[in-house]
Structure 1
């Protein structure tokens, strides 16, 4: 059964948000060296229950149609199969399938209620 494996926290000022989560939860947060501004969050020791995530630039204004929210990403064994399942269940992909080099294939989706989430097929050889 696919599980939530990653979260994203949208922020107007990611550095300020990183400092907040460091201070409040003692998370270990470092700016990712990848192709986009992204701050990786380690929320606890490896081998203990829980998930890690990231802080990213907010993609839309705080006010508007939907409230600010965390974005959860669900690890799936086959991207294309799960993209099809999303559509069949009444959701949609909100962006084309993206390759994240060295990580896997990813896209944001919306569920039947318009909530945003991600799916990712992890594959270290993705390019």
Structure 2
């Protein structure tokens, strides 16, 4: 079986998205020694998850859309309501409102300040 090992975020202004995701999730970014590329550390290797990369956007940003229709990353958060507030305070916007995934948790989708869509989920087996 093949497993995902890396995700990448395209950015019109890399520093603005570095600031956005650092503030939202506490991720750390390191400039790669070659080219315009930053590695993203999303947490300790002892926890499940993958790390990523950030690079300048190679083409125009996607147009407005109301729901995901691309390859989207979803991030586990402890408190979805608090994280939703941080997204909107940091220049992001809600795309798909918070919804229950019965028996699993609460999920919502957002756009970052550059128009990239991502999800956040709060695990909660009592969600209905």
Q: TM-score, normalised by structure 1?
A: 0.49
